[in-house]
A = this chain, B = another copy of it.
Amino acid sequence: MVNIKPYIKEHEQRFLNELIELLKIPSISADSTYKNDVLKTADEIKISLEKAGCDHVEICQTEGYPIVYGEKTIDKNLPTVLVYGHYDVQPPDPLDLWHSPPFEPVIKKTETHPEGAVFARGACDDKGQMYMHVKALEFMTRTNQLPCNVKFMIEGEEEVGSPNLAIFVKENQEKLKNDVILISDTGMIAPDVPSITTGLRGLSYVEVEVTGPNRDLHSGLYGGAVANPINVLAKMIASLHDENNHITIPGFYDKVEELTQEERQQMAKAPFNLEEYKKALDINAVYGEAGYTTNERNSIRPTLDVNGIWGGYTGEGAKTVIASKAYAKISMRLVPHQDWEEITQLFKTHFESIAPAGVTVKVKPHHGGQGYVTPIDSIGYQSASKAYQDTFCKTPIPQRSGGSIPIVSLFEQELKSKTILMGFGLDSDAIHSPNEHFGIFNYLKGIETIPLFYKYFTELSK
C-alpha cells in the first residue's frame, strides 16, 4: 500500500472544510425540534459516501431517524469490513458555557492540540471520527488500493440509545454480513499514546418521577406536614449509595465481572497522573467506590449517576412552594455480564420499594445496552495494533473504556462478528460537554491509520 501521507498533505484543507460543513448542521436526535437538521445530515452523509467511492449508497428508513448504508464490493472472496458510526449529536446545553456557538465550528490551538482543534458539537463524537473513515475510503478508492470489501452503516439515533438500529440489523443480516466491524467512537490515552478500546460499559438509563400532593402548596401552610417530593427524591437518591459508595440496589453486583489481581496490575500500567487529572477538572479530590482506583472506577466498575434533576421553583428570586412533583434522570454504567434489562428492572423494583408513604413513584426506563469485551488475540485486534505501530511507531495499549456503545454487543449477537474500536479522540476533548473539540492531528492521524487496518486485516485473513 503506497504511503497515504502525500495524499493527506495535498487534501488536508479540503478534509477539514468538509468536516466543518457537516458540523454546522445541528443534528440533535434528542430534541425533535431539530428533526429536519438530523434528516439533512443523513443526506449529506449519503453524498459524501458516494463521492468517496461507494458503488451503492441508500438511505434506509426506520421508525425514527434513517440509517445511511453504503458499500463498495471488489471481490466476494475477499473479507468485508463493516464501518459503523453515527451522524447525530448530543444536545449542546448549557449553551452559556460555550466559548463559541456549538454549531459554528472554529479552529483553535490548545495545550493538548498545538496543531489546532475543531471546536463544535459532534466534532469528536462522532461526526469527526466517523468522517475519518469516509476520507480513508476516498484515498483507497482513488488510488485503487482498497484491499477488501467495505460496508458503511451510519445511524442517527446513537445519542438516544439507537432505538431502531437493532431492528434494522436483525432485518438486514445478509446485507450487513461482514468479517469484522470497525468503529471510531472512543478515545485514545494521549496524542502520543495510541490505545485500542477492548471493553465498553453497558448502560441503563431511567427517568424517575416522585409525586406528593396533587398541586403545588404554600410551604408555610403545609411545610413540615406533608411529604415534600423534592426532599423525598433527594433522600431516595442518596440512599442508592452506601458510605463506601457501593450501590445499594439488591442484586446489582451479582453478575459483575471481578478482575484478577494480575488483570488489575496490567491496567495499572496505563499512564495516569492523578494530580493532572484533578487539575484538569479543577477538583481537590476524586470520589468513588472504596477499594478501587480512579481508572478502575470508570472502566471495570458499574456506576450510578444522576444526569439531571428538577422540581419546584427554579426561576429568579424566591418562591415559598412545595412542589407537587420532582424528577430525575438517572443512568447506570454496567460492566460485562450485567444484563441492562435485568438491572433496569432491579432499579425499578428497588426504587419503587423505597418510596415513603405520602408519595407515589414512577420509574420510566429510557434505554440501555450491554457491556462488551474484545479479545486482544483476534485477527481484528492484531490488524489494528499493527496499523497503529506503523503510524505512531508505538504498540497501542489495550484499554477498557467507561463509555457505552450499546449496539456493539448487539452486532456480535446478530452478525456474529467482533468489533474493533479504533478511537482517536481524547478524554479532554469534552464530548457531551460545552466546547467539544477534535484535534486536527488526531483527525488526520485517523485517516492515515485506517487504510493500514484494511491492509493488515486482509493479509491476516488469508
Q: Which residues of A contact B (CB under 8 A)?
A: 29-32, 90-91, 93-94, 97, 159-161, 187, 201, 203, 205, 207, 212-228, 230-231, 233-235, 237-239, 241, 281-289, 294-295, 297-298, 301-303, 305-324, 326-329, 331, 333, 356-359, 366-367, 401-404, 427, 430-435
Contacts and interface: CB of A to CB of B under 8 A. Distances in A.
A30 B227 contact: no
Contact of A205 (B239, B318, B328): B318
Nearest to A404: B220
A324 B308 CA distance: 11
B331 A318 contact: yes
Given A203-B320, A224-B297, A238-B238, A91 B305 contact: no
B285 A223 contact: no
Given A203-B320, A317-B31, A319-B90, A333 B231 contact: no
Given A224-B301, A308-B230, A316 B30 contact: yes
A290 to B, nearest CB: 12
A354 B235 CA distance: 15
**Total identical chains:** 2
Given A218-B403, A225-B298, A283-B358, A306 B434 contact: no
Contacts of A30: 315-319
A318 B433 contact: no
Contacts of A222: 298, 402
Contact of A218 (B282, B315, B323, B433): B433
Question: Lowest 6 CB-CB distances: which A-B pairs, in order?
Answer: A224-B303, A220-B403, A30-B317, A285-B357, A308-B312, A238-B238
A283 B226 contact: yes
B220 A358 contact: no
The A interface, classified by DSSP as helix, strand, loop or mixed, is loop
A215, A221, A401 — most chain B CB neighbours (10 Å) = A221
A201 B286 CA distance: 42
Contacts of A434: 215-216
A42 to B, nearest CB: 18
A309 B160 CA distance: 25
A431 to B, nearest CB: 5
Contacts of A356: 287
Contacts of A403: 218, 220-221
A230 B289 CA distance: 17
B310 A310 contact: yes
A234 B319 contact: no
B319 A312 contact: no
20 contacts: A30-B317, A91-B313, A93-B315, A214-B281, A216-B434, A217-B433, A218-B403, A218-B433, A219-B333, A219-B432, A221-B298, A223-B298, A228-B306, A230-B308, A231-B237, A234-B238, A234-B306, A238-B239, A309-B311, A310-B314
A30 B318 CA distance: 7
B308 A227 contact: no
A215, A333, A431 — most chain B CB neighbours (10 Å) = A215
A176 B307 CA distance: 53
B231 A241 contact: yes
Contacts of A359: 283
Given A223-B303, A308-B314, 7 more contacts: A215-B435, A228-B306, A233-B234, A284-B358, A308-B321, A320-B331, A321-B432
Contacts of A298: 220-225
Contact of A284 (B307, B312, B357, B402): B357
A226 B305 CA distance: 10
A97 B450 CA distance: 55
A298 B322 CA distance: 13
Contact of A221 (B233, B328, B427): B427
